[in-house]
Amino acid sequence: MKRKWMAGLAACTAVALGILAAGILKETVKESSVEKEIQAYSDTDFAMDTVVIETMYTTGENRNSSVGETLREIEQTLLSWTNQNSQVSRLNQAGGVPTEVSSQLSGYLETSLQLSKDSDGAFDPTLGEIIRLWNIGGENPQIPAEEELEKLLQKSGYEKIQMEGTNVTLKEGCTLDLGAVGKGIGCDVIAKELQNQEEITGMILNLGGSSVMAYGQKPDQSQWKVALTDPRDVEGEYLGAIALEGGEFLSTSGDYEKYFIEDGTRYHHILDPKTGSPVHNGLTSVTIVCDSGLLADGLSTACFVLGLDDALQLLEKYDADAIFADEEKNLYLTAGMEERFELLKSAYTVRAF
C-alpha cells in the first residue's frame, strides 16, 4: 500500500511540475490606475485520503492552506464513513427512518441519483457494504464468498434511496457511499468559493491525480495542462497531456488506483453493481472532462462500468469529453477530447470512438 501511495505522490508531484515551473512567474495586472502583481503559490496538502496539490495565482496573499481546510471540512461534516457525525454516516445509521440533511448534501444526492438513473445503475452510491467487504485498498483485502455478495446485493441499489427535498430515506440495510464523487464534490466546492475571491485570478487543484479543477487563467493566458497516467506504468512517463480551460473539471477512474492481484487476476476498486465484483471489460482507465466536478467524477466511474460501447450516449447527454484506455494500449477519444489531448507515448494508439 505504501508503495502505491508513494507512486501516487510521485505522480502528483510530476503532474505539478509544469505548474511549479510557473511558480517563479510574476505578472502585472492594471486595475484602474493601480498596478497589482500576480504571484503564483504552489503547495502540497493532504485531504480526502489523498495528496492535494494546489497552485494559486493571486494579487493577494497565499490562501492555499484554506483550500485543504475546506476539503477536510466537507469530508468530515458531509461525506465521511468513519466520522459517525457526518451527514452520510447519520443517514446510514438511521435504520430506514426519514432523516433531514442539509440542502448542500441533498443537492449532491439528487445529481448523483440522476446519474444513477441515466447510467442504468452503473453508477450506484449504495455499494457501501460491498465495498467494505472487499476492502480493496485497505489492510486485508479479500475475495468475498458469492453468497455474501448476493446477500448484500439484495440490500443495495440506488432506487432504495427516497428523497423529498432535504428529507432522505434509505431502505433498511441500504448504505450510502459517495466515494466515487467525493473528490469531484471537493473540486466543486473550491471552485464556488473562488468566485468570491476576486484577487485569485487562476488556480489548478489536483486531488491525488484523479480529480482536477481548473479555475480562471494563468497570467500568460496559456491553457492548463493535466498529465494522464499510464495505467500500466504509473511510476513511469505519462501517457499524455490534456488541456483544460478555466471552469473545467477532470476526473480519472482507473484499475491501477486501488487493487490487489491474486492468482493473476487484478481485483480493483471499481465494482459492477450487478455482480458486486470488480469490472473486467478490458478497460484500464477512463478520464472525463466536463463543467462539473461531481459529474466528471461520477461519469468516470459510470463509464468505466458501462464500457466503451454503452458509454457514448451517457457522455453525449452530459456534454462530456472522454478518453478510454484499454489493456491493448488503445486510447479511444471523443471528438472534443481529440482537440485537447496530446499523446506522449508511442506504445499507445489513438482511436476515435
Q: Which of residues 240 and 273 has its CB atom nearest to ligand AMP in the complex?
A: 273
> End-to-end alpha-carbon separation of the chain, Å?
35
Residue 67 C-alpha cell reads as: 483550500
A 10 A CB-CB count for 195 gives 10
C-alpha to C-alpha distance for 206 and 222, rounded to whole angstroms: 18
Task: Give the one residue of 67, 131, 168, 187 binding ligand AMP; rule: CB under 6 A.
Answer: 131
C-alpha to C-alpha distance for 69 and 75, rounded to whole angstroms: 10
Task: Give the one residue of 55, 89, 284, 301 binding ligand AMP; rule: CB under 6 A.
Answer: 301
Element (H, E) at 277: strand 277-278
Q: Which of residues 91 and 200 has its CB atom nearest to ligand AMP in the complex?
A: 91
Cα separations in angstroms, 100 against 111, 163, 169, 291, 320: 17, 10, 9, 29, 32
Q: Of these partners, Mg ion, ligand AMP, none, which one is at the site of residue 271 (CB under 5 to 8 Å by kind)?
A: ligand AMP
The answer to whether 326 contacts ligand AMP (rule: CB under 6 A) is no
The answer to whether 255 contacts Mg ion (rule: CB under 5 A) is no
- 229 to 258, contacts with ligand AMP by CB under 6 A? 253, 257-258
C-alpha to C-alpha distance for 28 and 92, rounded to whole angstroms: 51
C-alpha to C-alpha distance for 82 and 233, rounded to whole angstroms: 32
Q: Which of residues 301 and 334 has its CB atom nearest to Mg ion in the complex?
A: 301
C-alpha to C-alpha distance for 303 and 326, rounded to whole angstroms: 13
Is residue 45 classed as helix, strand or coil in its secondary structure?
strand
The answer to whether 315 contacts ligand AMP (rule: CB under 6 A) is no
Among 141, 142, 117, 133, residue whose Cα is nearest residue 175: 133
Binding mask 142-181 for Mg ion (x = CB under 5 A): --------------------------------------x-
The answer to whether 16 contacts ligand AMP (rule: CB under 6 A) is no
Q: How far is the CB of 180 from ligand AMP (least distance, A)?
A: 3
Among 90, 280, 257, residue whose Cα is nearest residue 183: 257
Q: How far is the CB of 122 from ligand AMP (least distance, A)?
A: 6
Q: Of these partners, Mg ion, ligand AMP, none, which one is at the site of residue 127 (CB under 5 to 8 Å by kind)?
A: ligand AMP
The stretch near ligand AMP (CB under 6 A) out of 28-36, 172-180, 189-197, 242-250 is 172-180
Element (H, E) at 324: strand 321-326
The answer to whether 300 contacts ligand AMP (rule: CB under 6 A) is yes
Do 262 and 277 touch, CB atoms closer than 8 A? no
Task: Give the one residue of 305, 311, 325, 331 binding ligand AMP; rule: CB under 6 A.
Answer: 305
The answer to whether 75 contacts ligand AMP (rule: CB under 6 A) is no
C-alpha to C-alpha distance for 105 and 51, rounded to whole angstroms: 24
The answer to whether 202 contacts ligand AMP (rule: CB under 6 A) is no
- 284 to 323, contacts with Mg ion by CB under 5 A? 297, 300-301
Angle at 75 between CA 228 and CA 202, to 5 degrees: 50
- 261 to 280, contacts with ligand AMP by CB under 6 A? 269-271, 273
Q: Of these partners, Mg ion, ligand AMP, none, which one is at the site of residue 269 (CB under 5 to 8 Å by kind)?
A: ligand AMP
Among 246, 255, 228, residue whose Cα is nearest residue 322: 228
- Contact residues for ligand AMP, defined by CB under 6 A: 123-125, 127, 131, 177, 179-180, 210, 253, 257-258, 269-271, 273, 297, 300-301, 305
- Contact residues for Mg ion, defined by CB under 5 A: 180, 253, 297, 300-301
